[in-house]
């Protein structure tokens, strides 16, 4: 009997919230503001636990943090000095005042747009298909780019993200999703007691401005070694120069394998009653541990503690436009961009 379902309602003045529920009782709420995930509510021992960070209205995102749960693009992460070259053509993008770099595609990018949306249903999943046309020259990027991001919730308790894009000129494209997990559902608890597994032998070293330096360093004998599941406190309590630099993690991990046979990362709740497995075809995952200090926003009535969330941002590693061996993020008009990431909930 088919019991997956989908509904929608207003989410502030101009946005719409879509609610997807599967036959296991998991509910995923997503919105057309930034093609973002707002809630991921999982039944655990008779309670409904929201395991991601999010806000209750579109206006809260605009006021507090536009990256929570959003689709990021055109390019996730930082491009140093906003400079890149394609086919001997030099481009200069708008940069921030703090460090003179561009972050997550620049100001008012994918995360701030109202995307077109349509819903789809089948026997084993419900989906929302988001689409956005980024005009030629938006934030300095060349070419008109048609982006499609599909969120599906399956009866296997999977949240599937499918990315597609085409462009009419050679351009850069390296999207991700900026979801923050906290599997306790309690934003006043640090994720330090969460266990993390990451199938990665190397990470990208970052400099003082958090851009990659070009060095790929072995995780062995560092606090960044999660090849065996370990508590995140091993990073927060260590005096290693890379985690002290950013007060946690804000680093690309280079994955040992990609695909959908075995997970590349696993987050496990402190009480071991819930875990989330990550599967991706992307070669790297940027892990950020929400080191907002005292500046963390109020999330659903709770003040967000420092290190109160954890991202798994699947992508080609930042630095790809600067350094050989970091990957290629050029999208040509002859190519359709396709990528998939799956988060599987085990409860």
Residues classed as catalytic: 178, 313
Residue closest to 292 by CA, chosen among 253, 252, 232, 248: 248
What distances in angstroms separate CA 254 from CA 82, 96, 142, 164, one per listed residue? 23, 27, 28, 23
Q: How many helices (H) and strands (E) does the chain have?
A: 3, 31
Which run of H or of E encompasses 63?
Answer: helix 58-64
Torsion, Cα 236 241 246 251, to 10 degrees, reads -90
Residue with tokens 């008779």, as numbered in its chain? 46
Counting beta carbons within 10 angstroms of the beta carbon of residue 40, is it exposed (0 to 12), middle (13 to 18) or buried (19 or more)?
Answer: buried
CA 63/CA 176 separation, integer angstroms: 22
Question: What is the number of other CB atoms lying within 10 angstroms of the CB of residue 313?
Answer: 23
Three-state secondary structure call for residue 33: strand
Q: Are 103 and 78 in contact (CB under 8 A)?
A: yes
Three-state secondary structure call for residue 59: helix
């Amino acid at each position: 009997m088919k019991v997956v379902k989908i509904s929608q309602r207003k989410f502030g003045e101009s946005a719409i919230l879509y609610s997807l529920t599967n036959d296991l009782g998991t509910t995923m709420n997503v919105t057309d503001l930034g093609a973002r995930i707002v809630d991921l509510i999982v039944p655990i021992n008779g309670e409904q636990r929201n395991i991601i960070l999010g806000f209750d209205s579109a206006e809260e995102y605009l006021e507090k943090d536009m990256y929570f749960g959003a689709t990021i693009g055109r390019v996730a992460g930082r491009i140093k000095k906003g400079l890149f070259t394609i086919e001997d053509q030099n481009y200069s993008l708008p940069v921030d005042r703090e460090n003179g770099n561009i972050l997550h595609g620049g100001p008012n990018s994918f995360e701030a747009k109202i995307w077109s949306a349509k819903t789809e249903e089948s026997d084993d999943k419900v989906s929302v298909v988001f689409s956005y046309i980024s005009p030629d020259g938006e934030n300095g990027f060349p070419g008109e780019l048609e982006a499609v991001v599909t969120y599906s919730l399956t009866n296997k308790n999977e949240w599937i993200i499918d990315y597609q894009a085409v462009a009419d000129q050679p351009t850069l494209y390296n999207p991700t999703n900026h979801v923050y997990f906290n599997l306790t559902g309690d934003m006043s608890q640090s994720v330090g007691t969460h266990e993390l597994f990451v199938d990665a032998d190397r990470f990208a070293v970052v400099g003082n401005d958090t851009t990659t330096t070009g060095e790929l360093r072995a995780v062995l004998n560092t606090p960044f070694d999660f090849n065996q599941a370990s508590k995140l406190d091993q990073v927060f309590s260590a005096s290693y120069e890379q985690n002290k630099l950013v007060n946690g993690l804000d680093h690309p991990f280079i994955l040992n394998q990609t695909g959908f046979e075995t997970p590349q990362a696993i987050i496990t709740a402190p009480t071991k009653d819930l875990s989330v497995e990550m599967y991706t075809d992307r070669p790297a995952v940027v892990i950020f541990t929400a080191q907002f200090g005292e500046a963390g926003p109020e999330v659903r009535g709770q003040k967000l503690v420092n290190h109160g969330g954890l991202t798994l941002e699947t992508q080609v590693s930042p630095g790809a436009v600067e350094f050989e061996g970091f990957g290629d993020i050029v999208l040509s008009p002859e190519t359709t961009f396709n990528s998939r990431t799956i988060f599987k909930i085990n409860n």
